[in-house]
Amino acid sequence: MDQLRARGVDSATVSIPRSRDTDLRNWKECRRTVKGKDIVIHLAAKVGGIGFNQANPGSLFYDNAIMGIQILEAARLEDVKKCVIIGTVCAYPKFTPVPFREDEIWNGYPEETNAPYGLAKKMLLVQAQAYRAQYGMDIIYLIPVNLYGPGDTFDPAVSHVIPALIKKFVDAMEERKSTIEVWGTGGASREFLFVKDAARAIVMATERYSKPDPVNLGAGKEITIHGLVEMIRELTGFSGDISWDHSKPDGQPRRSLDTSRAKREFGFEAVVPFRAGLQQTIEWYRDTYYGKRI
């Protein structure tokens, strides 16, 4: 919303339906949600970390597919002028050459633990291109890398790697624990995009991009999970031991995006340094859940 206000958008003209009030798996609610709108940005998703993905493959596929399919069809029937679909890096093949280029998205099957989610989201790219071809709809498809930042989900049942690790380290310090456990080997790599950069990218694409080709949104930098753990350890001040549970999956071996298309097409480049973004996220968690900064 901050990005829209900065561009002079009246907040009274913007609606942000939440899952507690709106079920986008329901066709009538999809029609109601997009009725009278000029622009629809489809951010809704059922999503979680590796453990959540392993436990819920069926609902992850159905919920994400049906929400997106119905939103685009509702937007077509309601004559929405522009639709922005937020896809996922999980749609890429498991062994995509690094950095991931958009043209590689169909060259293999996604990593198994997140394939149902990734494929459900990738079907919306097919739908977007089909609707553009047949109905002339202005639909764009963006592929953000792993996002993080203040306001993230820190519930260990569904959280992604950064909030999960921040919670483990901060909670361990508060509870005076001497050891924390981390999943996997630490050898997998990830790229992360700060939430404010992601919001800016989405607004820039909405304003300036109107082509059928998908566009990566990322920071252009890669870090191993081991490196991430050590950085969060340092920023939180945790001095205890770290136990790596090698019986748990690493997920996709590497994730890092080629972000040149976003820069070329609508001028987006990430500006928040990763370390600074992590520090803000840690401080937000401490303020929100413990009412203090350490």
Low-confidence ranges of the chain (pLDDT < 70): 1, 3-6, 8-13, 292-294
**155: number of Cβ within 10 Å:** 13
Number of domains observed in the structure of the chain: 1
pLDDT of residue 249: 87
Domain residue limits at 17: 2-290
CA 12 to centroid of chain Cα atoms: 26
Active-site position among 92, 117, 141, 209: 117
pLDDT of residue 5: 66
pLDDT of residue 11: 64
117 tagged catalytic: yes
pLDDT of residue 256: 95
pLDDT of residue 13: 66
Are the CB atoms for 121 and 45 separated by under 8 Å?
A: yes
Helix, strand, coil: what percent of the chain each, to 5? 45, 15, 40
- Rounded to two decimals, the pTM is 0.93
Backbone phi, then psi, for 5, in 5-degree steps?
-60, -40
Q: Is the peptide bond preceding residue 99 cis, with omega within 30 degrees of 0?
A: yes
Q: What is the CATH number of the domain that holds 203?
A: 3.40.50.720
